[in-house]
Amino acid sequence: MTTTFRAISLSYKTAPLAIREQVALDESEAKTFSLKLKEHFGFQDILVVSTCNRTEIYYTASANYAESIIKLLAIEKGLEKPSDLPNYFVVLDDQLQAIRHLFEVATGLHSQVVGDLQIPNQVKHSYQWSVDVDAASPFLHRLMHTIFFSSKRVNQETSFRDGAASVSYATVDLIADLTQNHAQPRVLVVGLGEIGTDVVKNLADKEFAQITLVNRTYAKSVSLAEGTNFRVADWENLEAEVRQADVIVSSLRVTTPLFTKAFVESLDILTFKYFIDLSVPRSIEAQVEEVPGALVYSIDDIQAKANAALQRRLESVPAVHRILDEAMAGFQDWSKEMVVSPTIQKFKQALDQIRKEELARQLKHLTPAEADKFDKLTANIVNRILRSPAVNLKNACRRGDADQLADVLVELFDLERQPEHK
């Protein structure tokens, strides 16, 4: 029975954050869910990709199980209204479509920030989870390694992942540039709204600075710092924290600037202090730039940096697609050859059986050394005989007309009687 590689996809393009949060799977949940899919449906391949922006399940099966998978996911996550969930999923029931989608997701073409540097690693983790629960056949192994090789080519041959293409990434990039001569710069993040939180998460990945969080709601700082070596300071100690910091990132909702020229003058800056304002309206007064030692970067400066990087990435998209086209063509040739591999293997077994039967009749007349020599000789003859039919069958696969040749081979040598190769 023919099996097909399929997928279901829920992402930021199809579902709001409230829904994405409900179906997100961590490592333990993804492995458990994969095992249940194996148990319930017997899928040969299972790949669960789950991030803050998407939850996708890839599987190999002879039929479309999208509805059943979504129902099982709803049960696993204990959703109150599971009947609504299918509306947020896109079903990819065509093998080429599902493969192409996975290639593009793993490369970062479907990320909110085009060319996202994190997505290749996230997909690698997902693949490792599949391997850990024995949910990967040779098909998935070959597919994933082809994808990883393509991703490496994208890094080496294009500008698709160059620069920081979002405000939060660009902010972290800027901090790294400004403090490159500091061994462990002190970075103070003030305000933990959406952008401030994104900056903190991206800083956590870099580990090049001492990070302190200050927020009006202390519990929010504690929650974000959990599992990191970040410091958390009280809002009442803001002035003291600003004095100690090398870089102040402000992401506050205010109607008038919190960091005024007078406030910064009172700090008596001895070297340089960098102020990065991500607030709209501004939380750092423009005149702060007039204070000796104080350098101010506005949201417009950061956005310009991000836009320039994004433009470079977008210009590289056609080159990325060409790399993916080449990789997919090679993978398709391989996957087509896999269809006739059982026939080739049975043919080899049939020839080898004949060889061994004839050889056994002569063994009583041969010395051990002669028997070994004849065994190697006849094995080489079988391999030579097998080479031409195998090559022709594989070439026929690429042309799309292997079925007829395979059927002839099966009938001529009565290969249906040969057991399946394990």
pLDDT of 128-137, one tens digit each? Answer: 999 999 999 9
The total of other beta-carbon atoms located within 10 Å of residue 32's CB is 15
Q: HSE of 18 in the Cβ direction (CA atoms, 13 Å)? A: 2
Among 161-175, 380-394, 400-414, name the one with the lowest average pLDDT.
400-414
Residue 1's contacts (CB-CB under 8 Å, 6 or more residues apart) are 62
Taking 80 as the threshold, does the pLDDT of residue 163 lie above it?
no
Q: Indicate the CATH number for domain 4-157.
A: 3.30.460.30
Which region among 139-143, 291-295, 330-334 has the lowest average model confidence (pLDDT)? Answer: 330-334
Q: What is the mean pLDDT of the chain?
A: 87
- State the Cα–Cα distance between residues 211 and 207, nearest whole angstrom: 9
**Residue 5 C-beta-side C-alpha neighbours within 13 Å:** 23
DSSP assignment letter at 290: G
Q: In whole angstroms, what is the distance from residue 240 CA to residue 158 CA?
A: 45
The whole-number pLDDT of residue 409 equals 61
- Any bridge partners for residue 7, and if so which? 58, 92
d(CA 171, CA 196): 10
Distances (CA, A) of 232 to 135, 225, 237, 333, 334: 42, 7, 11, 55, 54
Nearest to 8 by CA among 93, 130, 72: 93
| Residues annotated as catalytic (active site), given as ranges | 52
In which band, very low, low, confident or very high, does the pLDDT at 406 lie, cut at 50, 70 and 90?
A: low
pLDDT of 250 higher than 60: yes
More confident residue, 382 or 100: 100
* pTM metric for this prediction: 0.69
> Phi, psi at residue 49, to the nearest 5°?
-110, 115
Measured CA to CA, the distance from residue 37 to residue 123 in angstroms comes to: 19
Report the share of the chain in percent with pLDDT over 90.
Answer: 50
Dihedral pair phi/psi, residue 179, rounded to 5°: -110, 20
State the Cα–Cα distance between residues 163 and 170, nearest whole angstrom.
8
Amino acid at 151: S
3-state secondary structure of 399: helix
- The 8-class DSSP code of residue 89 comes to P
Tell me the helix, strand and coil percentages in the chain, rounded to 5: 60, 10, 25
Assign a CATH topology to domain 167-297.
Rossmann fold (3.40.50)
Query: Are 59 and 65 within 8 A, CB to CB?
Result: yes
Q: Three-class SS of residue 250?
A: strand
Neighbours of 331 (CB within 10 A): 19
Residue 418: what pLDDT?
58
pLDDT in tens, 364-405: 777 888 888 888 888 888 788 777 777 776 676 666 555 556
Q: What is the mean pLDDT of residues 343-359?
A: 77
CA-to-CA distance for 181 and 195, rounded, in angstroms? 26
Measured distance CA(318)–CA(415) in Å, rounded:
47
**What is residue 364's predicted lDDT score, i.e. its pLDDT?**
73
Q: What is the mean pLDDT of residues 26-36?
A: 94
What pLDDT was estimated at residue 422?
Answer: 45
Closest CA to 352 of 393, 389, 381, 394: 381
Local confidence band at 408 (pLDDT 50, 70, 90 cut-offs): low
Residue 213 neighbours by CB under 8 Å, 6+ apart: 189, 192, 200, 221, 224, 225, 230, 231, 232, 233
**Nearest in space to 200 (alpha carbons), one of 268, 278, 264:** 278
- Within 363-417, residue ranges assigned H as helices are 368-399, 402-412
For residue 58, is pLDDT > 80? Answer: yes
Average pLDDT over residues 52-73: 94
The CA-atom distances, in angstroms, between 333 and each of 5, 95, 280, 340, 343 are 15, 14, 53, 12, 17
DSSP class of 284? B
Predicted local distance difference test score (pLDDT) of residue 358: 80
